[in-house]
Structure 1
Amino acid sequence: MYRSAESTATLTQMDAPNGTLRLRGDSPMSELRCNGYAVVHGAIPPDRAARYVNEIYRWLESVGKGFKADDRDTWHVQCMPRFQKGGLYKRYGVAHEQFAWDIRTEPAVIDAFAQIWGTDELLVSFDAINASFPFPSDELGQAAKPWPHVDQSPTRSSMHCIQGIINLLENGPDDGGLMVLEGSMSLFAEFFRAHPQLRPEEGWPEIDWYSHSDDTLQWFYERGCKWKKIEAGPGDLILWDSRMIHYGDAAKGDRPRVATYVCYKPAKTITSEKLEAKKECFRERWGTSHDPLNFRISRPNAGDYTLEPKESVYPRRGPTLSERALKLAGIVEY
Structure 2
Amino acid sequence: MTTIQYGTDEKGIRIDHTTLTPRYSVTNDESLNEGIAYLNEHGYTVFSDILSQEEIKTNKDLLWNFFENIPGCHIRRNDPETWSSFWPGFPTSGVVNNCGIGQSDFMWNIRSNRKVKRVFTRIWNTNELLVSFDGCGVFRNWHYDPKWKTNGGWYHVDQNPIEKPDRCCVQGLVSLMKQNETTGGLIIIPNTHLRFAELNDIPRGRGDFIRIPHNHRILDGDQAIAKLVQCQAGDLVLWDSRLVQCNAPAFVTEQQNEGEPVDFLRIVAYVSMSPTTFVQKYTLDEFRKQRKSIVENNITLTHWSTELFQTRSKLNLPKISMKKFDAYQRALILGTDCDDS
Q: Does 2:273 correspond to 1:264?
A: yes
Task: Look up the match of 2:22.
Answer: none
Runs of 4+ in 1 over 4 A off after TM superposition: 2-5, 251-255, 315-319, 331-334
Report the CA distance between 1:297 and its aligned residue. Answer: 1.5
Choose 239-248 or 80-89, whichever is displaced more. Answer: 80-89
3-state SS in 2 of match to 1:144: coil
In 2, Cα distance between equivalents of 1:171 and 1:191: 29
Indicate the RMSD between aligned Cα atoms, in angstroms. 2.9
In 2, Cα distance between equivalents of 1:149 and 1:71: 35
Structure 1 vs Structure 2: percent identity of aligned residues?
Answer: 22
Q: Relative to structure 1, is the Cα distance of residues 33 and 68 closer, same or farther in structure 2, using a 3 angstrom cutoff?
A: same
3-state SS in 1 of match to 2:165: coil
Q: Say if 1:42 and 1:236, in contact at 8 Å, map to a contact too.
A: yes
Q: Say if 1:184 and 1:225, in contact at 8 Å, map to a contact too.
A: no
User: Match of 1:208, as an amino acid?
Assistant: D
3-state SS in 2 of match to 1:164: strand
Alpha-carbon displacement from aligned partner over 1:29-72 (angstroms, at most 9, x marks no partner): 11000000000012111210121012212222222534332334
User: Match of 1:256, as an amino acid?
Assistant: L
Task: Look up the match of 2:220.
Answer: 221
Task: Look up the match of 1:209.
Answer: 209
In 1, Cα distance between equivalents of 2:28 and 2:167: 21
In 2, Cα distance between equivalents of 1:324 and 1:228: 36
Task: Look up the match of 2:235.
Answer: 236
In 1, Cα distance between equivalents of 2:61 and 2:184: 19
Q: Say if 1:146 and 1:247, in contact at 8 Å, map to a contact too.
A: yes
User: Match of 2:87, as an amino acid?
Assistant: M
Q: Does 2:46 correspond to 1:39?
A: yes
In 1, Cα distance between equivalents of 2:194 and 2:122: 22
Q: Say if 1:28 and 1:40, in contact at 8 Å, map to a contact too.
A: yes
Task: Look up the match of 1:277.
Answer: 290
Within the candidate set 325, 330, 340, 1:326 is matched to 330
User: Match of 1:257, as an amino acid?
Assistant: R
Report the CA distance between 1:249 and its aligned residue. Answer: 2.4
3-state SS in 1 of match to 2:246: strand
Structure 2 residues not aligned, in runs of 5+: 1-25, 255-263
Q: Say if 1:126 and 1:287, in contact at 8 Å, map to a contact too.
A: yes
Q: Relative to structure 1, is the Cα distance of residues 130 and 78 closer, same or farther in structure 2, using a 3 angstrom cutoff?
A: same
Choose 236-245 or 57-66, whichever is displaced more. Answer: 57-66
In 2, Cα distance between equivalents of 1:170 and 1:314: 34
Q: Say if 1:93 and 1:312, in contact at 8 Å, map to a contact too.
A: no
User: Match of 1:329, as an amino acid?
Assistant: I
Q: Say if 1:181 and 1:245, in contact at 8 Å, map to a contact too.
A: yes
Report the CA distance between 1:79 and its aligned residue. Answer: 4.9
Report the CA distance between 1:312 and its aligned residue. Answer: 4.2
Report the CA distance between 1:264 and its aligned residue. Answer: 0.3
Q: Say if 2:27 and 2:49, in contact at 8 Å, map to a contact too.
A: no
In 2, Cα distance between equivalents of 1:66 and 1:316: 23
TM norm structure 1: 0.78
- Correspondences of 1:140-289 after superposition (within 5 Å): 140=148, 144-155=151-162, 156-192=164-200, 195=201, 198-199=202-203, 205=206, 207-216=207-216, 219-222=218-221, 225-250=224-249, 253=253, 255-270=264-279, 271-272=282-283, 273-289=286-302
Task: Look up the match of 1:14.
Answer: none
3-state SS in 2 of match to 1:29: helix
Structure 1 residues not aligned, in runs of 5+: 10-24, 301-306
In 1, Cα distance between equivalents of 2:227 and 2:123: 23
Task: Look up the match of 1:93.
Answer: 100
In 2, Cα distance between equivalents of 1:104 and 1:224: 37
User: Match of 1:280, as an amino acid?
Assistant: S
Within the candidate set 98, 103, 110, 2:110 is matched to 103
Within the candidate set 111, 121, 127, 1:114 is matched to 121
3-state SS in 2 of match to 1:298: coil
Alpha-carbon displacement from aligned partner over 1:265-299 (angstroms, at most 9, x marks no partner): 11244242543332221121111110110341225
3-state SS in 2 of match to 1:324: helix
How many pairs are equivalent?
A: 296
User: Match of 1:259, as an amino acid?
Assistant: V
Q: Relative to structure 1, is the Cα distance of residues 332 and 28 closer, same or farther in structure 2, using a 3 angstrom cutoff?
A: closer
Choose 65-74 or 125-134, whichever is displaced more. Answer: 65-74
User: Match of 1:39, as an amino acid?
Assistant: V
Report the CA distance between 1:147 and its aligned residue. Answer: 2.0
TM norm structure 2: 0.77
3-state SS in 2 of match to 1:328: helix
In 2, Cα distance between equivalents of 1:138 and 1:316: 37
